[in-house]
């Protein structure tokens, strides 16, 4: 792998109120239908939908620890971009590429069963976290 070439992009957005954010996204932008999921290992609930070829993931804290982290990231805003996700054919190959570049790995091998994920910390290089996503179905 010489550079990341994603198949699809995802915008991961932390929100204070998941139900309200879903309702507004549907109302304002026609995004939906949303698919709900629980990511217990991260302590969050999420709603995911496609919007003109980009996956929108709205993320809300479901545990006290996640709520604390989200409050720091939200800085008083009701929502904030948390990460950009890239769907790749082989998450492990992409992860190896970023490790070889010296990019720190935040976590790896989480997901909801249909998708394997890893997060790399590319903030010092490009200003955002990058989630690598691989469909396994």
CB 55 within 8 A of CB 48: yes
- Please, which pLDDT band fits residue 76 given cuts at 50, 70 and 90? confident
pLDDT for 66-75, tens place per residue?
999 999 989 9
CB 97 within 8 A of CB 106: no
* Fold adopted by 8-135: 2,3-Dihydroxybiphenyl 1,2-Dioxygenase; domain 1 (3.10.180)
pLDDT for 115-136, tens place per residue?
889 999 998 888 889 999 999 8
List the domain boundaries for the chain: 8-135
- pLDDT at residue 111, rounded to an integer: 62
User: Could you check whether the bond before residue 47 is cis, i.e. omega within 30 degrees of 0?
Assistant: no
């Amino acid at each position: 792998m010489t550079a990341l070439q994603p198949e699809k992009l995802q915008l991961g957005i932390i929100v204070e109120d998941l139900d309200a954010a879903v309702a507004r996204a549907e109302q304002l932008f026609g995004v939906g239908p949303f698919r709900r999921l629980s990511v217990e290992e991260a302590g969050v609930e999420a709603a995911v939908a496609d919007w003109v070829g980009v996956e929108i993931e709205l993320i809300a804290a479901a545990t006290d620890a996640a709520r604390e982290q989200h409050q720091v990231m939200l800085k008083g805003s009701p929502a904030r971009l948390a990460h950009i996700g890239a769907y790749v054919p082989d998450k492990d190959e992409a992860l190896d590429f970023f490790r070889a570049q010296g990019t720190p790995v935040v976590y790896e091998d989480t997901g909801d069963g249909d998708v394997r994920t890893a997060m790399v910390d590319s903030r010092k290089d490009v200003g955002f976290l990058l989630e690598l996503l691989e469909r396994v179905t």
